[in-house]
Amino acid sequence: MNLEDYHGVWVFIEEQEGTIAPVSLELLGAGRRLADKRGVELAGVIIGNQVKPLASTVFEYGADVVYVYDQTIFKDYRTESYMKALLHCCETYKPEIILFGATSTGKDLASAVATDLPTGLTADTTELDVEEDTGLLLASRPAFGGNIMATILCKKYRPQMATVRPKVMKALEAETGRTGKLVEEKIDIKEEDIRTKVLDIVKATTKKVRIDEADIIVSGGKGLGSEEGFQLIHRLAETLGGAVGASRDVVEAGWIEHHHQVGQTGVTVTPKIYFAIGISGAIQHLVGMKNSSMIIAINKDPEAPIFEACHYGIVGDAFEIIPLLIEQFSQALEKEEVNHVGEV
Amino acid sequence: MLHIVACIKQVPDTKIIKMNPKTNTMDRASAPAILNPYDAHAVEEAVRIKNRYGGTVSVLTMGPPPAVKAIKKCIEIGADEGYMISDRKFAGADTLATSYALTKALEKIQKITPVDLILCGKMTIDGDTGQVGPGIARRLDIPPLTSVKKVEEVNQDAGHIIVHRKIEDGHEVIKSSLPCLLSVEKEINEVPYSPFPNMIKAARYEPNIWSVDDLEDVDIKQLGLKGSPTIVAKVWAPPKPEGGKMLEGSTNEQVDQILSVILEKKELFDAKGGS
Ligand SMILES: Cc1cc2nc3c(=O)[nH]c(=O)nc-3n(C[C@H](O)[C@H](O)[C@H](O)COP(=O)(O)OP(=O)(O)OC[C@H]3O[C@@H](n4cnc5c(N)ncnc54)[C@H](O)[C@@H]3O)c2cc1C
Ligand SMILES: Cc1cc2nc3c(=O)[nH]c(=O)nc-3n(C[C@H](O)[C@H](O)[C@H](O)COP(=O)(O)OP(=O)(O)OC[C@H]3O[C@@H](n4cnc5c(N)ncnc54)[C@H](O)[C@@H]3O)c2cc1C
């Protein structure tokens, strides 16, 4: 393998029903930085059915080139068909780096493609950098349940591949009207050759709180004592107009569903305000919330590790503090309303 | 009769593991070795499929000799056979080399009894990449189905399986031809306490242990450290977050301080306050 033959940074653009996954836009931002440092092009790869129009968005978020595979066979995501398209694109244009969102689809596709190429794949990356002259990708990730961070290199194989956690990279501000080179590709695959069929796609029926998109999150931990006690968390969240988060122990106790879990094996969140109430602050929880703009911790144990990770800490009993917060906040809001009315 | 193979790994219990603050390395001895929790769900699901449709469940692991204990745990859960590949030549493998070695072992198992279904955990709690399962599927050229949270139907005669695969906001119902490989989510089942007879069986069970020389057509260059494109170049403890401001005063005063802090982020409440 001649490493010199490989050029450019790629981002796999994940799409569902005509919408680009936010993580793909974040990766375009990260990819732009890497590409500029290397002095190479940044490309987006879109695979799907009727996806060509998405190219303009990909350019606006920083790509110089977009490769599109727009064919009916790509209507549903299936590992085998998408993998073939991406392998075809890699063989034709030889990128030096490819980034994927660490989502169900991104991880599935990246693992399959890396095996076939074959090359190295770094999982769940949270930090990315590149050596300017050698082009070596420095991909860092948590491992051992978040107890350590590791920098993973792939020295002798190309492309260098990584899946990257949603919400840890920043998307660029979209530059309206920015365009680039659109490359349309096609591959020949027959439906009979694909061994899986998507029979149905079922959207979660319960109106799922997207805690990864919330501005305010009130998270509760085992310290709330019971499912009943945990209701206080729901009430505070409701008062503040925020979403409910939870530690893993709460999810395992069955007080709330898994999609509320914040952390290493849950969701990574970046709200403007994060409340951690009755949560000890285990490393696996911290990795999921440490990028919140303001972290407020309430815990009755002054030694709890969460206090090392917060901006404001209150040592005290949740059962005493939450009702006070709810009451005072409602009052404060009412006052504001009166003021607003007064101004008119 | 179905033959289901679950791939399992012995891991340090990362909940208990201690870090050496001087060297920033893990004190592996501090953590007990356990069966990777996600793999317990894979084995349990394999046993449930066996109980529903008939068949045999085998488990396969690559690891150092003490990993025999993880196999015994699987026998307790209800697996029938255990295979282990163990050899210094496997050491230092990343996911590409791990999936290669496991595939060579699976090819040997196939020769003993053809395999219809392979189950893996969603990920391990030490490497936590989730990449080994799809890697094995590609190498065997069978469909990989990741993030599986329910097995709806296995139809050996028609040669297909129907599963539910978790996606970001719901799930997909997927039909795949057999054989195929599933990586399963934790929510697929609950692993109950093992029945007593299984525990006795497990205590007496001796797994089949193979070295590299017992496998066929192995390309040594693809094994272990040599066969691994990725290298762990540096390991460090995640930076300790900076301690924040501890509030003081009576509970009421502290609540007041928090209120003014959050109300400063006025834009968050404008929609609410103004309506
Ligand atoms: C591989 C792996 C992955 C993991 N992934 C995650 C993850 O994604 N997310 C996650 O959260 N965890 C995760 N964990 C678990 C993590 O290690 C901790 O076990 C968990 O976060 C602890 O939850 P907790 O803080 O709610 O409970 P505890 O650790 O039991 O803490 C409860 C806290 O509540 C306080 N408290 C008690 N009563 C009161 C009261 N009346 N008022 C105020 N405070 C009170 C206590 O002082 C204590 O600090 C993972 C673990 C492993 C091994
Ligand atoms: C700090 C650190 C970071 C790492 N980061 C990466 C990385 O980014 N990319 C990379 O390629 N490698 C990485 N590795 C190497 C990786 O952990 C090993 O390759 C490991 O042997 C397999 O990967 P995993 O534990 O992540 O398994 P996963 O892919 O998470 O495991 C998924 C499933 O595969 C099966 N399985 C996995 N291992 C075995 C086994 N030995 N025997 C039987 N079944 C098994 C189980 O069913 C398991 O549930 C890293 C290692 C360390 C120490």
A46 bridge partner residues? A13, A68
> What is the per-residue pLDDT for B23?
63
Q: How far is CA A316 from CA A59, A67, A320, in A?
A: 51, 56, 8
Q: How far is CA B21 from CA A280, B185, B238, in A?
A: 20, 34, 11
Both structure tokens of B192: 């109950």
> pLDDT above 70 covers what percent of chain A?
96
- Fill in the DSSP letter of residue A54: G
- For the cut 60, the answer to whether the pLDDT of residue A344 exceeds it is no
Determine the distance from the C-alpha atom of residue A264 to the mean position of all C-alpha atoms in its chain, rounded to a whole number. Answer: 12
Distance CA B169, CA B172 (A): 10
> What is the per-residue pLDDT for B31?
80
Question: What's the alpha-carbon Rg for chain B, to the nearest Å?
Answer: 23
Question: Which of A68-72, A207-211, B233-237 comes out lowest in average pLDDT?
Answer: A207-211
Average pLDDT across chain A, whole number = 93
First to last CA, chain B: 65
- Measured between beta carbons, the chain A residues lying within 8 angstroms of B145 are 196
Both structure tokens of A234: 């729901």
pLDDT tens per residue, range B175-190: 999 999 999 999 899 9
Among A136, A119, A118, A139, residue whose Cα is nearest residue A128: A139
Counted residue by residue, chain B has a size of 275
- Measured between beta carbons, the chain A residues lying within 8 angstroms of B126 are 143-145
Question: How many secondary structure helices (H) and strands (E) does chain B include?
Answer: 7, 15
Give the number of the atom of ligand 2 that is nearest the alpha carbon of residue B136.
Answer: 34
Q: Give residue A279 CA to ligand 1 midpoint distance, Å.
A: 5
Q: Do B134 and A112 touch (CB under 8 A)?
A: yes
> What is the per-residue pLDDT for B24?
59
Average pLDDT across chain B, whole number = 92
Can you tell me the ipTM of this complex? 0.90
pTM over 0.90: no
Q: Do A104 and B147 touch (CB under 8 A)?
A: yes
pLDDT tens per residue, range A154-174: 999 999 999 999 888 999 999
Facing residue for A199 by CB, picked from B173, B187, B255: B173
> What is the per-residue pLDDT for B240?
66
The tally of CA atoms less than 13 A away on the side-chain side of residue B49 is: 33
Please give the average per-residue pLDDT across A103-130, as a whole number.
97
> What is the per-residue pLDDT for A343?
44
For residue B5, what is the enclosing H or E element? strand B2-7
Nearest-ligand number for the alpha carbon of B228: 2
- Fill in the DSSP letter of residue A303: T
Nearest-ligand number for the alpha carbon of B134: 2
Residue A245 DSSP SS3? strand
Give B172: exposed, middle or buried? Use CB within 10 Å, 0-12, 13-18, 19+: buried
Mutating to test ligand 1, I would choose from B9, B13, B15, B129 the residue with most ligand atoms within 8 A of its C-beta, which is B15
Residue in B13, B15, B128, B132 to test binding to A, most A beta-carbons within 10 Å: B128
Q: Give me the residues of chain B with pLDDT under 70, please.
A: 19-26, 240-243, 270-275
Q: Do B138 and A155 touch (CB under 8 A)?
A: no
Q: What angle do CA A258, B5, B71 make, to 5 degrees?
A: 80
Within A197-281, residue ranges assigned H as helices are 227-240, 248-252
> What is the per-residue pLDDT for B26?
66
> What is the per-residue pLDDT for B20?
67
Both structure tokens of B152: 């709806």
Neighbours of A64 (CB within 10 A): 18
Residue in B163, B230, B263, B266 to test binding to A, most A beta-carbons within 10 Å: B230
> What is the per-residue pLDDT for A208?
56
pLDDT tens per residue, range A257-287: 999 999 988 898 989 999 999 999 998 999 8
